[in-house]
Structure formats: structure tokens, C-alpha cells
Amino acid sequence: MTEKEKLTEGLLYDPMDRMLLEQRQQCKEHCHAYNQLSPSRLWERSRLLELIVGTCKGEATIEQPFYCDYGYNIHLGKNFYSNHHLVILDAAPVYFGDNVFVGPSCGFYTSGHPLEYEQRARGLEYALPIVVEDNVWIGGGVHVVPGVRIGKGSVIGAGSVVTKDIAPYSIAVGNPCRVIGSVPSNEPRHG
């Protein structure tokens, strides 16, 4: 079994595998080019973003700078927007639904490390997917860990660390992030 196959299966894998290193390096070159473009060169930014991410269902804006590991595991829904300093460690897939808005300095981290120190010392890690469903608003400085799903229509408060799934139409905040209420019923509930 290759290291990439182990990664895909959610097993411990060696991220220093030559093929994985080459894929990360290529993606980092594309991110570097993206981050160097003038903000006014919108068409070029859009074309390069399409080259970086795996899929993009419609209009997407990611303000610079933007960093990711592989890119091809990032899937953007329609009308995706992220403010500055977005980091996506996409060893596993990261799915963003339609109408997702992400504040500045947010991170989505699919990679984790074993608790057992000998495995960790060998450099092994694992990766689990992250899913952000439709119509989610994520405040600035939010960090999302491996294996989390954020339900549709939810709002995640600024500075939160999301370590567990968030039910649809929830308002959640804190470290660790916890549900403190629900989106008011008079709000539109599309999707």
C-alpha cells in the first residue's frame, strides 16, 4: 500500500513520502504565485485559484494570502468567500458548501498526529475530512480540526476552535467550540 493510499484510507502515513512531497511542493508554488498577484488582477487570480483547488462549483473569492498543502482535496461550493490568511491543510478532502463565508485568519486542518510518541517521533500522521455545509458563516480566527462537520446554516463565532461536529442552524462559539443557541427562525433557511 502506498503512502497516498494509506492517507486516503485515514491510516497513519508518512508525509515525507517522495510523491507526497512533490505534490505539496507543486501546490506551494501555485499558492506563492497566487499570493504574489496584484489584487486588481481578478481574472488571473480566479484562473490560478481554479488550478489550485480540486473543484469549484461557481464564483469563489479567497483574499490573499492563501496557503494549502495539496489543493486538489479542496472543494468549493457556489459563492464561496474567504477573507485574508486562509490556511487549509488538505491531506484529506475539505468540502465547503454553497454560500460559505469565512473570516480572516482561519484554518482548516485535516492532518493530525498520533498520541503515541514513538509513532509521532517517526513523523507519521493521519488525515480526516472536514465538511462545511451550505450557508455557513465562520468568524475570524476560527480553527477547525480533522474529521469535523459543520451543519448547514450555522454560525461559528470568532476565535472558536471547532473540535466536534456542529448541528445545522447552530450558533457556536468558544474553545472548544460549543453550541450556545440556534439561528433565529425568522432567518431564511435555504438549502
- In-domain check, residue 189: no
- In-domain check, residue 130: yes
Binned at pLDDT 50, 70 and 90, residue 71 comes out as: very high
- In-domain check, residue 168: yes
pLDDT digits (tens, 9 = 90+) for 1-22: 999 999 999 999 999 999 999 9
- pLDDT score at 176: 97
The CATH number of the domain holding residue 171 is 2.160.10.10
Is 66 within 8 Å of 48 (Cβ atoms)?
no
Binned at pLDDT 50, 70 and 90, residue 184 comes out as: confident
- In-domain check, residue 170: yes
Is 91 within 8 Å of 7 (Cβ atoms)?
yes
- In-domain check, residue 133: yes
Complete edge-to-edge strand list for the sheet that includes strand 143-144:
66-68, 86-89, 107-109, 143-144, 161-162
- In-domain check, residue 164: yes
Provide the domain count of the chain: 1
Phi–psi pair at 146, nearest 5 degrees: -55, 140
What positions carry a catalytic annotation?
Answer: 113
Side-chain half-sphere CA neighbours of 123 within 13 A: 5
The rounded distance, in Å, linking the Cα atoms of 59 and 98 is 10
The rounded distance, in Å, linking the Cα atoms of 126 and 190 is 34
Mean pLDDT across the stretch 49-72?
A: 96
- In-domain check, residue 186: no
pLDDT digits (tens, 9 = 90+) for 101-145: 999 999 999 999 999 999 999 999 999 999 999 999 999 999 999
- In-domain check, residue 147: yes
Domain that holds residue 164: 3-181
Phi-psi region of 85 (alpha: psi -120 to 50; beta: other; left: phi over 0): left
